């Protein structure tokens, strides 16, 4: 089963092509402001680099949100169009679940923080004792100032919200919280691809024409 | 500090550009047999995609081995030449340490397995209770058949050796060992870049002209 996975929910975009247990290729890049000109050429470059053709792709996984409004719209527009045009199943995967799944076999709860702008974060608390995370709190939108009351050790902190609100969080949170290493704070499309396969096996697909992002905030 | 990291120690190559806490870009690809034609164009493409120039790179990190003979030679030849030509510090990072560092805050020991060909593996046992792994056994070269006696639960198994010797390992190992998710079994250059920064701060550089790969086997 050849899976194409596409994440543009944050300030970094990530694309991956996975076949069974093989991650054929993965590429992640900070977005210099516009995914619109990069996503489809990125998909094409990934297919070329791995020697595959779009016709061989069997399922498309996409970051469901919450996250960056414009990023989500462009990513989902692309994924929906590809799935619809090729008659492929489309699997939306919650963005925070992708971030939590990057910490398998983890004894501590995982607090995922995404930037929601205006001094707010999207927050979700996960447990990931195996290789698949389970949501135990949230997802919800919170003022950054409300986080210290919610985040008690032992806890692993992850997500791009850490970089955005680092200064406040470093000052306001207990010093014994575990900060994810910087390279693990953004969604990897390789992990999104794995979760896509698991969700597809459970029938958790979305009709390409109807899918809308999970915003957790009224769209502007 | 702009770090260029380069891993070609396994059947997948990975390149990354990291600046402080920001992973600017990362790309990983299964090698279709030859790194020689891909590494330098890959570095150039990564710089272009992130809007950086080679002149801005301040340190080069490279996978030290053990691993694939030809891959290591090509990767290190490239890293050494770039470091020497630009007068940059060169930081070799053990390949297995990169793999173990992908499991931060991990309560279980991590057994890293790399394919050593001829039914052998390169093996190292790490602990990673924080964000930086510590080697507790190995690195050593072992017959695959010797692994069941060495690998007792609870233990996380990782490394590309899992895919190469999957059938034997699935039959011969206890069923309650924890197998790393497939997308986490290869070295990520993003993690290599982070460890490069940590090692540079400790002065753990290598003279570009003298560095040779850690083979753990007499070179052919």
CA distance to partner chain A, nearest, from residue B37 (Å): 12
* Both structure tokens of A32: 């210099």
> For residue A96, which of A192, A31, A210, A194 has the smallest C-alpha distance?
A192
Q: What tens-digit pLDDT sequence spans chain A (220 residues)?
A: 999 999 999 989 999 999 999 999 999 998 755 666 789 999 999 999 999 999 999 999 999 999 988 899 999 999 999 999 999 999 999 999 999 999 999 999 999 999 999 999 999 999 999 999 999 999 999 999 999 999 999 999 999 999 999 999 999 999 999 999 999 999 999 999 999 999 999 999 999 988 888 888 765 4
**Chain A hits for B51, Cβ within 8 Å:** 32
Percent of chain B whose predicted confidence (pLDDT) is above 70: 96
What does DSSP say about strands A12-19 and A2-7: parallel, antiparallel, or unpaired? antiparallel
Omega before B164 within 30 of 0, i.e. cis: no
Q: Which of B110, B162, B182 to mutate to test the interface with A (most CBs of A within 10 A)?
A: B182
* Both structure tokens of A74: 């462009």
Which DSSP letter does residue B180 get? P
Instruction: Report ipTM for this prediction.
Output: 0.95
CB atoms A50 and B28 under 8 Å: no
Measured in degrees and rounded to the nearest 5, phi and psi for residue B117 equal: 65, 170
> For residue A121, which of A157, A146, A89, A97 has the smallest C-alpha distance?
A146
CB atoms A105 and B182 under 8 Å: no
Q: Where are the alpha helices (DSSP H) in B30-68?
A: 39-50
SS (H, E, C) chain A: CEEEEEECCCCEEEEEEEECCEEEEEEEEECCCCCCCCHHHHHHHHHHHHCCCHHHCCEEEEECCCCCHHHHHHHHHHHHHHHHHHCCCEEEECHHHHHHCCCCCEEEEEEEEEECCCCEEEEEEEEECCCCCEEEEEEEEEEHHHHHHHCCCCCEEECCHHHHCHHHHHHHCCCCCEECCHHHCCCCHHHHHHHHHHHHHCCCCECCCCCCCCCCCCCC
The pLDDT assigned to B140 comes to 96
Residue B219 has pLDDT above 60, yes or no: no
CA distance to partner chain B, nearest, from residue A13 (Å): 9
B164 contacts chain A (CB < 8 A)? no
Helix A39-50 with A69-86: angle, nearest 10 deg: 50
**Nearest by CB to A25, which of B20, B29, B179?**
B29
Percent of chain B whose predicted confidence (pLDDT) is above 90: 88
Per-residue pLDDT averaged across B170-197, rounded? Answer: 97
**Chain B hits for A29, Cβ within 8 Å:** 24-26, 49-50
CA distance to partner chain B, nearest, from residue A103 (Å): 7
Query: At B127, is the secondary structure helix, strand, or coil?
Result: strand
B41 contacts chain A (CB < 8 A)? no
Summarize chain B as % helix, strand, coil (round to 5). Answer: 35, 30, 35
CB atoms A103 and B107 under 8 Å: no
Residue B146 has pLDDT above 70, yes or no: yes
CB atoms B182 and A27 under 8 Å: no
CA distance to partner chain A, nearest, from residue B169 (Å): 15
Q: Which residue of A has its CA nearest to B189?
A: A183
A104 contacts chain B (CB < 8 A)? yes
d(CA B220, CA A89): 48
d(CA B146, CA B151): 9
d(CA B90, CA B212): 12
CB atoms A182 and B12 under 8 Å: no
The pLDDT assigned to B209 comes to 85
Contact B124, B102 (CB under 8 A): no
Measured in degrees and rounded to the nearest 5, phi and psi for residue B17 equal: -125, 120
**Nearest by CB to A105, which of B23, B25, B108?**
B108
Looking at per-residue pLDDT, the higher value among B134 and A68 belongs to B134
- Label residues B146-182 b or e (16+ Cβ within 10 Å = b): ebeeebeeebbbbbbbbbbbeeebeeebeeebbbbbb
The predicted-structure confidence for B14-56, as pLDDT tens digits, reads as follows: 999 999 999 999 999 987 556 667 899 999 999 999 999 999 9
């Amino acid at each position: 089963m050849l899976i194409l996975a596409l994440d543009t929910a944050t300030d970094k975009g990530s694309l991956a092509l996975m076949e069974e247990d093989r991650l054929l290729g993965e590429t992640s890049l900070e977005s210099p402001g516009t995914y619109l000109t990069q996503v489809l050429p990125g998909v094409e470059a990934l297919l070329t680099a791995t020697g595959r053709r779009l016709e061989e792709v069997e399922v498309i996984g996409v970051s469901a949100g919450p996250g960056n409004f414009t990023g989500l719209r462009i990513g989902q527009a692309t994924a929906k169009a590809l799935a619809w045009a090729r008659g492929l199943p489309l699997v939306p995967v919650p963005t925070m679940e992708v971030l939590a799944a990057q910490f398998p076999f983890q004894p501590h709860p995982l607090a995922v923080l995404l930037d929601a702008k205006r001094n707010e974060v999207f927050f979700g608390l996960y447990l990931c004792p195996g290789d698949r995370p389970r949501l135990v709190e949230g997802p919800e939108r919170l003022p950054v100032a409300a986080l210290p009351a919610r985040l008690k050790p032992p806890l692993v902190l992850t997500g791009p919200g850490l970089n955005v609100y680092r200064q406040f969080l470093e000052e306001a949170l207990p010093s014994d919280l575990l900060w994810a290493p910087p390279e693990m704070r953004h969604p990897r499309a390789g992990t999104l691809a794995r979760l896509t396969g698991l969700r597809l096996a459970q029938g958790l697909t979305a009709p390409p024409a109807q899918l809308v992002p999970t915003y957790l905030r009224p769209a502007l």
